A and B are shown apart, each in its own frame.
Chain A
Amino acid sequence: MIATLLAVEGETREVFEDINLFGKVVFYVLSFIATALFLWGSWQRITKYRRGRPAGRIRRPAAAPSSNGSAPTVADTVPSNGQPSKLHTVGTIAANSTVAKRDRSMGIAHFFIFWGFITLFIGTVILTIDEDIVKIATRQFGEERSFFKGVFYAIYSLVLDTMGFAALIALVYMAARRGLFHLPQLDYRRAEEPAGGYDRRQYQLGDQLFIGLLGLVLVTGFLHEGFRIRASGFPDFEIWSPVGWLIAKGVSGAGVTLAGSDTIRTVIWWVHAVLALSFVAYIPYSKAMHMLTDAANLVTHDPTTSRRLPAPDPAAGHLGYQTVEDFTWKELLDFDACTKCGRCHVVCPAAAAGAPLSPRDLILDLRQWASTSSGNVTLLDSERRPEPTGPLVTDGTLAGDVIRADTLWSCTTCMACVAACPVGIEHVPTIVELRRSLVEAGTMEPSLQDALQNIAQKGNSFGKSARQRAKWTKGLDFTITDARKEPVRYLWFVGDFASFDDRLQSLSQTFAQILHGAGVDFGILYDGERNAGNDVRRVGEEGLFEMLVEQNMEQLTAAEFDEIVTTDPHTLNTLRNEYPGFGLDKPVKHYTEVLADLIEAGELDVGALGSTATYHDPCYLARYNELTEAPRRVLRAIGCDVVEMPRNRDNTFCCGAGGGRIWMDDSGLTERPSENRIREAAELDVEMFVVACPKDFTMYTDAAKTTGHDASLRVVDVIELVAEALDRQPALGAAEI
């Protein structure tokens, strides 16, 4: 090996071999044009981003304040604030790990194309430095020098050949994936069919052109190498370009003469050069721009924006978004970052249920609309329609005409899209901003309007009297401490559903009995509590959310407690992540965390149930708050054999109730998300479908019935199971309300 390497000392190839002065001039002119086109296109995009308002991504807001004293602080329980360091992000980008996250083979293929082209690009830069800087500079001082030779050249050749070849194989895989595999995520059909139809063939052509151009650049590069080696008569050192070497062997085997090879080589050189330069020029106008936008998007990505929604821009003078200027630059960058990979499209519960929403379509529509209204030129990257509807709307409302209201209302804010997106696009905050516009215009269905009015007037979506909020406690044989009057360790924030829903009140009673039985010091706010506002905020009713926060904070500030506990993941999310911005400085726990701790500390004397169960991760626990293990700890501790569904933890599937969907009509869906989920669980051989969210209990009890699985699959809350595991259950004696 070393011997061969040494043998190549001083060996090199001529860069512009066979290209005369005229050719060189033409080449430099073409390079100049390509670079100019690249810069102009990029500048156009940047101009568009500059129309957006600040996104607060460069400097982070300070972490939530922590309380004094010995109580655990917010900082202790909030799992990191979710902000990876920039260095970490660069590592993620380099390793392509977001691409590989849920699709290994795709990740590997992308990795080789990514690094293959970066290597080839670096190779070209080295060549340019040697040719245009080192040689020219040294010529001024006498003898021309070059480092592009000998051992360096051999290693250079080997690396470039290998990486180029790997990239080529990966590209073939990518093309096959598109052409032969019929993957649902690459099916560009829209989730909703616009009246008058639409045409997305450009998307496909754009993909083909992208992969085709990259492939041709590689193929012509290798062919040129082969013909060069053949034309120069197989010099020994060229063995370090193995792909070229093999092609050269083939060429000579096919009887191409030395002179013939020389001519062909020149032609191919030009083809290769023109293709490569075209590619450079084409980048900012096409899907290829994701090479630049995605790196920028990942570096500026803030994974916390869904759980802690940004407040509306006070300077806007209106709620929500109406023009390009209302978006943040990060959102405008999001749109350009989308590669149409479709991962969000296939995990979206709304799209799966036949609702008129696909997060991919939403982003692409916004991209087309924002690009058109910013005068961006695009190449094979647009949807066409016979009528100027949707993304083609030029004068009309953004939320309503460009993006249909029913599209925006279909979102459950489950965050599956954000979690699936390999390039750091934040769909949920954008959807909520657009909903804010709908709320301001009063565009919503009557049932949602009723719910919001009820919450505004009575503090609960059920429209029941605010004074009846704690009525469920009447069925207990002890009195729960009024946390407004006495200090407690745990303040239990009960939430609307657990307080008012007939089917859930007994669960609330059971939880109270468990805590009481374990001697836990806890209290509630009685009729001082209001809906916490998580879903109100996600509906886009920011004014109402603020009102609820004010009302709740007034009560919380007056009460004395160490920690908050709640059974409702939605309530947990806003209390934990959004209320600190309004002054809440206490840790917020889910009841499964408290139960797991109590059981493990021996405070709850549980026996083994010995049943098989699968556990459904609520979106607002698993994806929003990375809280997946506490419920499983409880289940294991009470002797349940937990069998996982294929979609578990942060890949969980939404029940369909979040983001205010529970207040909207779902009769138009082809398959309710909750039914889809029950069918997934029914495939497993388990007795129980365990939930840890009050809304889930009602959603899945219904879904088990409508799918006919209610006899074989028992929908049960963790609370009930713990109560069953406590031998004391009969003594608890829950009274009826």
Chain B
Amino acid sequence: MRIAVLLKQVPDLVEEFEIDDAGTDIDREFLTFLLNEFDNQALEEALLIKDATGATVDVVALDDPEVDQALYTAIAKGADRAIKLTGANGDGWLSTHARAAVYAGWLTGESYDLVLTGVQAADDLDGQLAPMLGALLDVPHVSVVVGVEAADGTARIRQEFAGGAISELDVSLPAVVGVQAAGAEPRYAAIAKIRQAQQEGNVDEVAVDPPAAASGLTIRRMYPPEKSDRAEMLSGSEADVADRIIALLRERGLVQG
């Protein structure tokens, strides 16, 4: 069983964001980047499958900012191989369409049984990467997954629905899976191990072509949410304010009675 986990770096959300001069992207110059937390879940799920079945786990990423850190951390956690696809990232942000195309181009030449990735990312909140990849590779795809049990040729997958319902699916392999949460809290990699991986430097760089496919979308304008003036400030004594809140909740039908 061979598993590929796709990793992506996203801006650290604790930083203060600013819009760039063109007004169509965030200013990336002073941001710090971290591994997308859902990709981290996907990696953990892959490592759990490895622990259970002895599968091999390769991590694959584009040349995102500070991505080496994520790749070495994955090796420290037990990934067998780290592959960095270079030459695809332009200057700014790479759309999920383009990203999916680059991954698909490379994956076609490889033979993975399972491709895991995060169900979504800060810059892919609609979670398009996994479905697009499934389509491009012409293999089954499942998203919002909270558990993968892989066997020969098939995988039993647990998918989460709103309200906490879980469905269990059998999927024939190869397949693409968008992971919501791994079966365990992502493991910790000791810094000494990450640094050791860094010293050994085993990241395979593979040059790929820049993505041809465009999403057909252009960003016209990017801006911080505009403040609305619909907020009503409540003042008065505690009892008055409480009464007003209760009245409001009733008015809007948020509480009964």
Contacts and interface: CB of A to CB of B under 8 A. Distances in A.
Interface string A526-570: 000000000000000111101100000000000000000000000
A442 B190 contact: yes
Contacts of A542: 192
Given A446-B185, A457-B32, A544 B191 contact: yes
Contact of B190 (A440, A446, A467): A440
Which of B14, B34, B191, B193: most chain A Cβ within 10 A? Answer: B191
B191 A456 contact: yes
B250 interface: no
B192 A319 contact: yes
Given A440-B193, A457-B32, A465 B14 contact: yes
A174 interface: no
A478 B103 CA distance: 53
Contacts of B77: 442
Given A458-B12, A458-B32, A465-B14, 15 more contacts: A439-B190, A440-B192, A442-B188, A442-B189, A444-B188, A457-B34, A467-B30, A541-B190, A541-B191, A543-B191, A543-B192, A543-B194, A543-B195, A544-B190, A547-B195
Interface string A440-452: 1010101001001
Interface residues of A, number: 23
Contacts of A139: none
Nearest to B34: A457
Interface string B1-36: 000000000001011100000000000001010100
15 contacts: A442-B190, A444-B188, A449-B188, A452-B188, A456-B191, A457-B32, A458-B14, A466-B32, A467-B30, A541-B190, A541-B191, A543-B195, A544-B190, A544-B191, A547-B195
Given A463-B14, A465-B15, A543 B188 contact: no
A464 interface: yes
A266 to B, nearest CB: 69
Nearest to A439: B190
Contacts of B12: 457-458, 465
Contacts of B34: 457
Main secondary structure of the interface of A (DSSP, over half): helix
B156 interface: no
Query: Which of B34, B187, B188 has most A Cβ within 10 Å?
Result: B188
A465 B16 contact: yes
Interface string B23-51: 00000001010100000000000000000
Nearest to A452: B188
Contacts of A440: 190, 192-193
Contacts of B195: 543, 547
Contacts of B194: 543
Interface residues of B, number: 18
A543 B193 contact: yes
A543 B196 CA distance: 10
Contacts of B189: 442
B190 A543 contact: yes
A453 B192 CA distance: 13
Interface in B190-204: 190-195
Interface in B156-191: 185, 187-191
Contact of B187 (A442, A456, A546): A442
A48 B14 CA distance: 53
A710 B92 CA distance: 54
Nearest to A464: B14
A442 B77 CA distance: 9
Q: Across chains A and B, which 10 residue pairs bring their CB atoms closest together, nearest first? A: A543-B192, A543-B191, A442-B188, A544-B191, A442-B187, A449-B188, A465-B14, A465-B15, A440-B190, A439-B190
Given A457-B32, A457-B34, A467 B15 contact: yes
Contacts of A543: 190-195
Nearest to B69: A457
A446 B189 CA distance: 13
Contacts of A453: 188
B71 to A, nearest CB: 15
A446 B37 CA distance: 14
Contacts of B185: 446, 449
Contacts of A442: 77, 187-190
Contacts of A452: 188
A465 B194 CA distance: 22
A400 to B, nearest CB: 14
Contacts of A449: 185, 188
B154 to A, nearest CB: 30
B18 to A, nearest CB: 12
A279 B77 CA distance: 55
Contacts of A444: 188
Nearest to B188: A442
Contact of A547 (B14, B16, B187, B191): B191
A315 to B, nearest CB: 15
A452 B193 CA distance: 14
A695 B14 CA distance: 23
A453 B14 CA distance: 14
A464 B189 CA distance: 21
Contacts of A446: 185
Contacts of B193: 440, 543
Nearest to A440: B190
Contacts of B14: 458, 463-465
A439 B15 contact: no
Contacts of B187: 442
A440 B16 CA distance: 34
